[in-house]
Structure 1
Amino acid sequence: MKVLVAGANGHTGRLVIRYLKEKGHEPLALIRDEKQADELKELGATPVTGDLEKDVTPAVKQAEAVIFAAGSGSKTGADKTIAVDQEGAKRLVDAAKTENIQHFVMLSSYNADDPNQGKGQGSMEIYYEAKRKADEHLKQSGLSYTIVRPGALLHEKKTGKIEAAAHIPDDRNIEISREDVAVVLVESLTEPNVKNKTFDLIKGDTPVEEALRKL
């Protein structure tokens, strides 16, 4: 399957590309800057030029599915968070619908559906609101979708074991490795049981494929 990865040059996006290749998919890396092309080619991706802050429909034309793993980053400010995490995601959803994309996988954030999440915490409140609005836009789009809401992301090796549920209480250890998140994003492309589902994701004791089948 040809899969367009938004945020391909980020930490999680690069892991997504690697795992897409392992699973026999053809990753298309959405890039704004041509300078990123060679590095992403080395990872096995085909670079596709496009900007989430503009019309991305031409970039989506080549794809059969989309994984949104982009983020503005923690140091860019509220305007960029809204531009990328909210409006950029919505713009990509709209382009995917125009091009009749088979499935759209959204990397969201733990408890993003809770309007009280991040309340009174400045930039975090804006971040969660942006994620929540992007997720809702995808749900209302009519596209086949999966929304993955991981807890705190760790730079650790994958364990291959997770816990996934519609809601996971916040009194738990809500950490998970980026590698495991990347695996879940890719597996969500083809696991029929997660079609049109949204779930929280943390490290756990259940193998990824089994956990997704049980959702």
Structure 2
Amino acid sequence: MNIKKVLVAGATGYLGQYVVKELKKRGFWVRVLIRNKAQKDKFKAVDDFYLGQLTSPNSIKGITKDIDWVFSSVGITRQKDGMTYMDVDYQANSNLLKEALKDKVEAFQYISAINGDKLKHLKIFEAKEKFVEELQDSEINYCVLRPNGFFSDMKDFLNMAKSGRVYLFGDGNFKLNPIHGEDLAKICVDKMEEGIKEETIGGIDIFTQNELAKIALKAWKKPIKISHLPDWTRRFTIWLLRTFTSSKTYGPIEFFLTAMADDNIANQYGTIRLEDFFKLEVNKLKNKKY
């Protein structure tokens, strides 16, 4: 059997690190893109490193040489280096795609987010979906996955719950099924192997926001105290941020607040439960004190 060679871009991020582990577990040959040599220390048993910046096309020439599959979860999560969403979520991935096409890479998997195709008016998705369209129009076999929120994103509920009360917009009945990065990484590799073009991916359990708040409060062993704010406060917050801050500041918050005002239910996968994740996180935080 011919072992596939996979390039992972975004490998130092939350999902990327799990994808690298999953690929190696299944016997793939893995090349990891890093921005500086110190990032090598994050990885064990990787076959090859490529030092470069996707935002600088000249620094990534040859990055996809001899590569069969490209995986990219490249995007801005925490704003830095003065880069915009268009610079990173769109242009950096576009630069990588050009190299992949030049080297006749077999397939390219890109990670967007749930409902990105319906929320192009948000800055973060304007850039992501511009790249999705470019990828779909290219001559490469593509796979676009749209995961729901990560368990790591749900720590916002946990952080609120620590104080003993969780604040929600509206009645708290909108539903979502977040997924753990480890579960998502397995699905990413599965879908690449299956040749799936597009799919939404979520966790095994569907929760209302009220249920999420309760789970977070229980993890801290707090009484259930949830305050419901009128929805106009959410809309007003988005307006304030758009008016008085740059997209670098408001982008992630705009996305979060918009997602809170609708159901976000993706196809259900995985085995890791949010309750268990919250308990582990609380134990970690408590142990840090001692």
TM-score by length of 2: 0.58
Gaps of 5+ in 1: 120-124, 157-170, 209-215
Tell me the residue number matched to 1:202: 202
125, 129, 132: which one aligns with 1:128: 125
Which has the larger share of helix?
Answer: 2
2:31 and 2:46 in contact (8 A); partners too: no
Mapped pair 1:70 → 2:74 = yes
Tell me the residue number matched to 2:49: 47
1:21 and 1:44 in contact (8 A); partners too: yes
Closer, same or farther: CA 189–61 of 1 in aligned 2, 3 Å: same
Tell me the residue number matched to 1:146: 143
Residue type of the alignment partner of 2:189: V
Q: Distance in 2 between matches of 1:200 and 1:143?
A: 20
Within a 5 Å distance, the mapping from 1:15-164 to structure 2 comes to: 15-40=18-43, 42-55=44-57, 56-76=60-80, 79-114=83-118, 117=119, 119=121, 125-155=122-152
1:3 and 1:63 in contact (8 A); partners too: yes
Cα-to-partner distance string for 1:113-153 (whole Å, 9 max, x where unaligned): 11xx274xxxxx11111111011110001100100000111
Cα-to-partner distance string for 1:85-113 (whole Å, 9 max, x where unaligned): 11111111111111110111101111111
Residue type of the alignment partner of 1:204: I
1:12 and 1:69 in contact (8 A); partners too: yes
Give the superposed CA RMSD: 2.3
Closer, same or farther: CA 27–126 of 1 in aligned 2, 3 Å: same
CA shift, 1:172, in A, is: 3.4
Q: Distance in 2 between matches of 1:100 and 1:118?
A: 30
1:105 and 1:188 in contact (8 A); partners too: no
Q: Distance in 2 between matches of 1:22 and 1:127?
A: 32
Residue type of the alignment partner of 1:199: E
CA shift, 1:80, in A, is: 3.0
Residue type of the alignment partner of 1:49: L
Gaps of 5+ in 2: 154-173, 206-267, 271-290
Closer, same or farther: CA 76–126 of 1 in aligned 2, 3 Å: farther
Q: How many residues align?
A: 184
1:105 and 1:189 in contact (8 A); partners too: yes
TM-score by length of 1: 0.77
SS at match of 2:193: coil
2:202 and 2:269 in contact (8 A); partners too: no
Cα-to-partner distance string for 1:180-213 (whole Å, 9 max, x where unaligned): 2211111222113x1xx222111137667xxxxx
Q: Distance in 1 between matches of 2:24 and 2:18?
A: 10
Which has the larger share of strand?
Answer: 1
Q: Distance in 2 between matches of 1:118 and 1:130?
A: 8
CA shift, 1:45, in A, is: 4.5
SS at match of 2:104: coil
2:32 and 2:46 in contact (8 A); partners too: no
Q: Distance in 2 between matches of 1:43 and 1:69?
A: 21
2:5 and 2:29 in contact (8 A); partners too: yes
1:57 and 1:98 in contact (8 A); partners too: no
Q: Distance in 2 between matches of 1:77 and 1:46?
A: 26
Closer, same or farther: CA 111–101 of 1 in aligned 2, 3 Å: same
Identity within the alignment, %:
27
